[in-house]
């Protein structure tokens, strides 16, 4: 059985102050990242000069900030970031995406 996943596509560069918040409702983990010009804290992703580099930064930030226990496989390929649950029954919910289409998100929850 396939596990739940989230596909995040960087169509163009987000603006400073925009955010993406994804909830993992089974273990109540909130994956919250604000886009910034310089990463200074947990929950921040540095905007790079290309969508691919920004996607890479986003994947790296998620891994550093929320994946110390290995509950997810998080990786980027080009301008796309994938978050895959390693546990069954995890459901992802996008609770905020203020990028106005610059970043699109598709959730595929395990059925």
Q: What pLDDT score was predicted for residue 2?
A: 77
Q: What pLDDT score was predicted for residue 1?
A: 60
Element containing residue 57 per DSSP (H, E): helix 51-66
83 DSSP β-pair partners: 6, 74
Phi/psi at 55 (nearest 5 deg)?
A: -60, -45
The domain of 67 spans 5-108
Structure token pair of residue 25: 């409702």
Alpha-carbon distance 100 to 102, whole Å? 6
Low-confidence ranges of the chain (pLDDT < 50): none
Number of domains in the chain: 1
Q: What pLDDT score was predicted for residue 34?
A: 98
Q: What pLDDT score was predicted for residue 26?
A: 85
Residues in the chain: 111
Q: Do residues 30 and 43 make contact, with C-beta atoms less than 8 angstroms apart?
A: no
Alpha-carbon distance 45 to 27, whole Å? 23
Q: What pLDDT score was predicted for residue 40?
A: 98
């Amino acid at each position: 059985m396939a596990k739940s996943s989230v596909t995040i596509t960087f169509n163009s560069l987000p603006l400073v102050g925009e955010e993406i918040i994804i909830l993992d409702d089974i273990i109540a983990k909130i994956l919250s990242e604000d886009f910034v010009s310089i990463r200074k804290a947990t929950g921040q992703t540095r905007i790079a000069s290309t969508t691919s580099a920004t996607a890479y930064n986003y994947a790296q930030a998620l891994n550093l900030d929320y994946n110390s226990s290995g509950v997810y496989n998080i990786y980027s390929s080009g301008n796309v970031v994938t978050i895959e649950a390693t546990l069954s029954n995890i459901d992802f919910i996008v609770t905020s995406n203020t990028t106005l289409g610059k970043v699109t998100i598709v959730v595929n929850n395990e059925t």
